[in-house]
Amino acid sequence: MANEGRVTSALKRMIAWVSSNATGCRYCQAHAIRAAERYGAEQEQLDNIWEYRTHKAFSNAERAALDFSLAASQVPNTVNADIKKELYKYWNEGEIVEMLGVISLFGYLNRWNDSMGTTIEEGAVDSANQYLGKYGWESGKHDGSMY
């Protein structure tokens, strides 16, 4: 998750958010959006993360990365030739592997935290409410009542 190239720490956290949103894990959605905020995502991106495909705050390169995250996180996987073609317009193979590493890590974290009903910490809840609440985000089973 370190920032050692063009795939910034903020973009990695937005990739994680898209992945977590695709799988439905409220815990990881909250933590990913909070981490995106803490790792330098632009305010306009945070405020409009749900509209990444059309909002001017996102570059075409970021859109390609986030579309890849969405497709790779779905079951069954929906990565296709069009998604790969768009991705390779902006990113090299090493950067794509780096993105897939984030997606794979969150595949694990989404399943773990959602299955366990991990309680979301207050700071992450605050960030989720701020950036995701207007779209109906709620903590769901991650409010501490599952176990």
CATH number at residue 16: 1.20.1290.10
* pLDDT per residue as tens digits for the range 17-75: 999 999 999 999 999 999 999 999 999 999 999 999 999 999 999 999 999 999 999 99
4 belongs to a structural domain: no
Residue 146, pLDDT score: 62
Q: Does residue 3 sit within a domain?
A: no
pLDDT for res 68: 98
Q: How many domains does the chain have?
A: 1
pLDDT at 57: 98
Q: Which domain holds residue 15?
A: 9-143
Q: How confident is the model at residue 4 (pLDDT cuts 50, 70, 90)?
A: confident
What single letter denotes the amino acid at residue 145?
A: S
Question: Could you tell me if residue 2 is inside a domain?
Answer: no
List helix spans (H) across 1-147. 9-23, 26-38, 43-47, 60-73, 81-90, 93-116, 122-132
Name the residue with tokens 């958010």: 17
Q: Taking residues 79-92, what's their average pLDDT?
A: 98
Give Cα 107 to chain centroid, integer Å. 11
User: Has residue 41 been placed in a domain?
Assistant: yes
C-alpha–C-alpha distance, residues 132 and 137, integer Å? 5
Q: What is the pLDDT of residues 87-106, one digit of tens each?
A: 999 999 999 999 999 999 99
Q: Is residue 17 part of a domain?
A: yes
What confidence tens digit (pLDDT) does each residue in 121-145 have?
999 999 999 999 988 999 999 987 7
For residue 28, being part of any structural domain is answered with yes
**pLDDT for res 147:** 59
